[in-house]
């Protein structure tokens, strides 16, 4: 066994967490080897470092909070850090976690290839490393990956674009509408392993329609390198959309019908450009092009409710956080976490065992069911476009 500490308290806390998760509480008695009260409040389970990329996107704040509270409920101490999307900051935060005696690391990387030094040190110290949502690349020192089925997320994004255009119905069957429709393509950050999965998944759906002439991309920009958006920045996407509109659409007869956007932050930049540079009306009903998204960020959920953005992809970060907590606890308990994918996530050095979750397409008419009824956002938050 390669991991350093299998503390009795850690094992007890792990079991307590599992039992608490199953029974909704009352888990303490048979696991409480420390005599320190009920299982949910044990504090000797160890220290877990949680490294998140940025606080500028609300999803990562929610992820960080959910992982922290899940671990704390299981009796662990948590060192949660956000790195302001700055690679040296994230490297330093992870160095500090190792120095401070972390027993496990949960890492959502900024750039999936820049943490090799830190992770080698962690491995040397026997610290298990869980890659959170974004795969850490080019190192053997990553033990497990928790994420969503990222290729499928891209498939869903492209499918929702086709639904918005009218080529597919909501059951994703062809309607017989053959367009032609003009679309433009955006992808995420090229240093984020997920961005390629999203784009490849989306293109697996769109390419046949491009080939058959139902869709065309008037800018001619269809390669990942041409459409990628470094660091997922809203303003970068807005600028690229403005440039495309100015070069290809404004002052011509060419009308843009839809935009593949892989993330809500980018979608908001794209929508700004469409309205203010492209001169498109503010709502889809009036002629705003169909714009997709991802993450069900609250500002974008409101835009969907208001008929401005067409769709987003809901990835329930509460489930992802729970999965990472389960994996960390398994390691600290001397076990291997359960994987449901052992083929798809090759990080350049090895195939990383993964647990992948499912995502859903959000449209205006299922916000209630997917986001409000599930408790992800409240009705007031959707109405105001702000997290409370
Ligand atoms: C990706 C993540 C997406 C989105 C994006 C921008 O790695 O999978 O859900 O959050 O980063 O933050």
Is 194 touching ligand 1 by the criterion CB < 6 Å? yes
What pLDDT, on a 0 to 100 scale, did the predictor assign at position 220?
98
Contacts of 32 (CB under 8 A, 6+ apart): 12, 16, 38, 39, 42
Choose one of 83, 110, 111, 133 to mutate for the ligand 1 pocket test, by most ligand atoms within 8 angstroms of C-beta: 133
The predicted model scores a pTM of 0.88
The parts of the chain modelled with pLDDT lower than 50 are 1-43
Cα 52 to middle of ligand 1, angstroms: 11
Contacts of 144 (CB under 8 A, 6+ apart): 128, 129, 130, 131, 327, 331, 337, 339, 352, 353, 354, 355
Q: E-strand spans in 103-200?
A: 104-107, 129-132, 144-148, 181-185
What pLDDT, on a 0 to 100 scale, did the predictor assign at position 20?
35
Reported as a single tens digit per residue, the pLDDT across 5-48 is: 333 333 333 333 333 333 332 222 233 333 333 333 334 589 99
Reported as a single tens digit per residue, the pLDDT across 336-367 is: 999 999 999 999 999 999 999 999 999 999 99
What pLDDT, on a 0 to 100 scale, did the predictor assign at position 58?
86
Is 295 touching ligand 1 by the criterion CB < 6 Å? yes
- Contact predicate 154/202, CB 8 Å: yes
Nearest CA to ligand 1 atom 9: 295
**What is the β-pairing status of strands 312-314 and 360-362?**
antiparallel
What pLDDT, on a 0 to 100 scale, did the predictor assign at position 11?
38
What pLDDT, on a 0 to 100 scale, did the predictor assign at position 33?
32
Distance CA 164, CA 359 (A): 19
- Contact predicate 182/218, CB 8 Å: yes
Two structure tokens written together for 136: 């850490």
Rg (CA), the chain: 22
Two structure tokens written together for 201: 């998944």
What atom in ligand 1 is closest to the CA of residue 147? 8
Two structure tokens written together for 349: 């050095």
Is 131 touching ligand 1 by the criterion CB < 6 Å? no
Is 54 touching ligand 1 by the criterion CB < 6 Å? no
Distance CA 55, CA 62 (A): 9
Q: What is the dihedral of CA 314, 319, 323, 329, to 10 degrees?
A: 150
Reported as a single tens digit per residue, the pLDDT across 102-111 is: 999 999 999 9
What pLDDT, on a 0 to 100 scale, did the predictor assign at position 57?
87
What pLDDT, on a 0 to 100 scale, did the predictor assign at position 45?
80
Cα 35 to middle of ligand 1, angstroms: 42
Distance CA 324, CA 132 (A): 7
């Amino acid at each position: 066994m390669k991991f350093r500490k299998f503390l009795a308290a850690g094992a007890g806390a792990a079991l307590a967490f599992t039992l608490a998760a199953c029974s909704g509480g009352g888990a303490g008695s048979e696991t409480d080897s420390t005599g320190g009260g009920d299982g949910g409040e044990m504090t000797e389970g160890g220290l877990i470092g949680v490294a998140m990329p940025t606080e500028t996107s609300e999803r990562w704040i929610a992820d960080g909070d959910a992982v922290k509270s899940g671990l704390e409920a299981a009796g662990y101490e948590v060192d949660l850090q956000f790195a302001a999307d700055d690679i040296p900051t994230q490297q330093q935060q992870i160095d500090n976690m190792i120095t401070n005696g972390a027993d496990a690391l949960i890492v959502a990387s900024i750039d999936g290839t820049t943490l090799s030094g830190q992770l080698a040190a962690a491995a040397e110290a026997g610290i298990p490393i869980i890659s959170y949502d974004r795969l850490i690349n080019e190192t053997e020192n990553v033990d497990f990956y928790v994420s969503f089925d990222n290729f499928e997320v891209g498939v869903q994004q492209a499918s929702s674009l086709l639904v918005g255009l009218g080529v597919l119905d909501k059951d994703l069957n062809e309607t017989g509408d053959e367009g032609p429709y003009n679309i433009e393509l955006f992808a995420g950050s090229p240093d984020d392993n997920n961005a390629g999965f999203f784009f490849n998944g989306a293109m697996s759906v769109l390419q046949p329609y491009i080939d058959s002439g139902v869709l065309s991309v008037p800018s001619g920009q269809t390669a990942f390198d041409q459409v990628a958006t470094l660091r997922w920045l809203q303003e970068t996407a807005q600028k690229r959309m403005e440039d495309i509109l100015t070069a290809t659409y404004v002052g011509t007869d060419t009308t843009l019908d839809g935009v593949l956007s892989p993330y809500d932050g980018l979608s908001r930049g794209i929508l700004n450009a469409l309205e203010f540079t492209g001169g498109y009306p503010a709502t889809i009903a009036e002629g705003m092009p169909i714009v997709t998204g991802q993450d069900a960020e609250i500002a974008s959920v409101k835009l969907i409710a208001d008929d401005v953005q067409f769709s987003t992809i809901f990835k329930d970060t509460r489930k992802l956080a729970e999965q990472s907590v389960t994996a960390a606890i398994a390691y600290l308990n001397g076990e291997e976490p359960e994987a449901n994918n052992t083929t798809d996530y090759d990080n350049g050095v090895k195939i990383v065992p993964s647990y992948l979750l499912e995502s859903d397409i959000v449209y205006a008419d299922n916000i209630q069911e997917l986001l409000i009824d599930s408790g992800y956002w409240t009705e007031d938050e959707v109405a105001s476009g702000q997290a409370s």
